[in-house]
Amino acid sequence: MKPLTCMIIAGEASGDLLAAELVAALRQVAGDQESVYGPDQQPLRATLEPRFFGAGGSRMAAAGVELAFDMTAHSVVGVSGVIRNLLKFRRLLQQLLHMALDRQPDLIVCVDFSGFNRRFAAAVRQAARARAGLFKNWQPKIVQFVSPQVWASRESRVYQIARDYDLLLCIFPFEKEWYAKRVPGLRVEFVGHPMVERFANVAGSLDTKSDGPPRVVLLPGSRAGELRHHVPIVAAVARRIAGQMPATFCMVVPSEDLMRQFASAASGVPNLTVQAGNVEKALRGADLAITKSGTITMECAFLGVPALVFYQTSALNYWIGKRIVTVKYLAMPNLLADELVFPEFIQHAATPENISRAAIDLLQNRDQREHVQKRLREIVATLGTAGAARRGAQAIMNLL
């Protein structure tokens, strides 16, 4: 008799939070399961406390996961960032592979971080096959939580996903059907979006606005590489807005350390506050967000904040991206709506002139902002009900 052992890997701040929520749900769901018995009626696994280990960040550590190292400290931006750090990522992968082979968990859960986790899952499968034989029958179940965006680029990778994963947990409703058409043998479950539960208690206050000047939230990114490109852009946009109309600004960066590094790049913006973390607090009651593309656009959607979405990267990353990305939009709310709910300004279009012009037009058009908020409510309504982590945990226990 032994407890369920789970290796879990997350490589970015958003994945770290999602993994921590899943760990809590797995503990609860596993505690509700009846004991598992073998053919001889001897208990193989009883309802003991599951054990978690792997790599992630501070939220996973707080949830009781034994971390080999802080994986979130190694996140990078773009293909060029991966190439520059290729040897480091290979070393981290080998370290985690050796840990998996040594401890032989029942379950491996890969949370987002698709480039690294896809390679790790393939390495585990290959190693397990090589060790197969008498008394060496370790065949862990491997789960991916959050679908890699193969529907947006490099669709052929779907076949590797089907080969190496036992279960794929999706958070967007269109993904299950998309996979069923291409790899019908892959087990895919739509569990809903985790933000539905996180923001369930703020829905009643989303439309609360002050009577003062409009509040604009500046969201330049979560990594140092992004901030180097984006802070000067959002600062210039804010200065242009302030030159045309009264407004207050709040710029959010993910940590105190990054705030110290980049706050000076936003000097000269009137009525500006800079804060570390707590995006939700900054967005609540805001009139407009000027945000880089990514997960943050979904937070704007859930909090009912109209947004202008931009992204600027190196020439190499942009050149590569243009050749592999096949979707019409970058912002997920736009993809879900199949229309430009959030205007997008990418690479050469991401100029202070273009963004500030659109921002001023939107700030001066209350009817348009209300129309955007209505569309956001419709988009959010398609993303399931609260309880994504618990549904994901239940799907995992059903797999086991």
CA distance 104 to 52: 12
Cα–Cα separations (whole angstroms), residue 224 to 199, 201, 253, 260, 299:
27, 32, 10, 12, 21
Contact 3, 45 (CB under 8 A): yes
Q: What is the sign, positive or negative, of the torsion defined by CA atoms of 343, 76, 351, 289? A: positive
pLDDT of residue 205: 47
- Condensed to tens digits (0 to 9), the pLDDT of residues 210-233 reads 578 999 999 999 888 889 999 999
Q: Long-range contacts for 295-298 (Cβ within 8 Å, ≥24 apart)?
A: 295/14, 295/332, 296/219, 296/222, 297/331, 297/332, 297/333, 297/342, 298/193, 298/195, 298/332, 298/333
Q: Write the DSSP symbol of residue 199.
A: T
Query: Of the ranges 135-144, 269-278, 330-339, which one carries the lowest mean pLDDT score?
Result: 135-144
pLDDT at 79 over 60: no
pLDDT tens per residue, range 94-132: 999 999 999 999 999 999 999 999 999 999 999 998 877
Q: What is the DSSP string of 225-248?
A: HHHHHHHHHHHHHHHHHHHHS--E
Distances (CA, A) of 158 to 96, 174, 177, 295, 375: 24, 15, 13, 22, 31
SS3 label, residue 319 = helix
Q: Is the pLDDT of residue 345 over 70?
A: yes
As a dihedral over the C-alpha atoms of residue 12, residue 13, residue 17, residue 23, rounded to 10 degrees, the angle is: 40
Quote the pLDDT of residue 204: 44
pLDDT the model gives residue 74: 67
Residue pair 153/323 in contact (Cβ under 8 Å)? The answer is: no
pLDDT at 45 over 90: no
Q: Report the candidate in 93, 49, 50 with the shortest Cα–Cα distance to residue 74.
A: 93
Q: What would the two tokens of residue 349 be?
A: 């279009």
Q: How large a percentage of the chain has pLDDT more than 90?
A: 72
What does the DSSP 8-state code read for residue 17? H
Is 390:352 a contact under the CB 8 Å cutoff?
no
Please, are residues 266 and 251 in contact by the beta-carbon 8 Å criterion?
yes
Tell me the chain's radius of gyration from C-alpha atoms.
22
3-state SS of 39-68?
Answer: CCCCEEECCCCCEEEEEECHHHHHCCCEEE
Contact 63, 20 (CB under 8 A): yes
Instruction: Give the per-residue pLDDT at 36.
Output: 54
| 230 exposure class (CB count in 10 Å sphere: 0-12, 13-18, 19+) | buried
Report the greatest alpha carbon distance in the chain: 78
Arithmetic mean of pLDDT, 277-295: 94
**Helix intervals (H) in the chain:** 13-32, 58-62, 78-84, 86-103, 114-130, 158-164, 174-182, 194-198, 224-244, 256-262, 279-283, 296-302, 315-324, 332-337, 352-363, 366-380, 388-399
Cα–Cα distance for residue pair 274/22, rounded to 1 Å: 31
Packing angle, helices 388-399 and 13-32, rounded to 10: 60
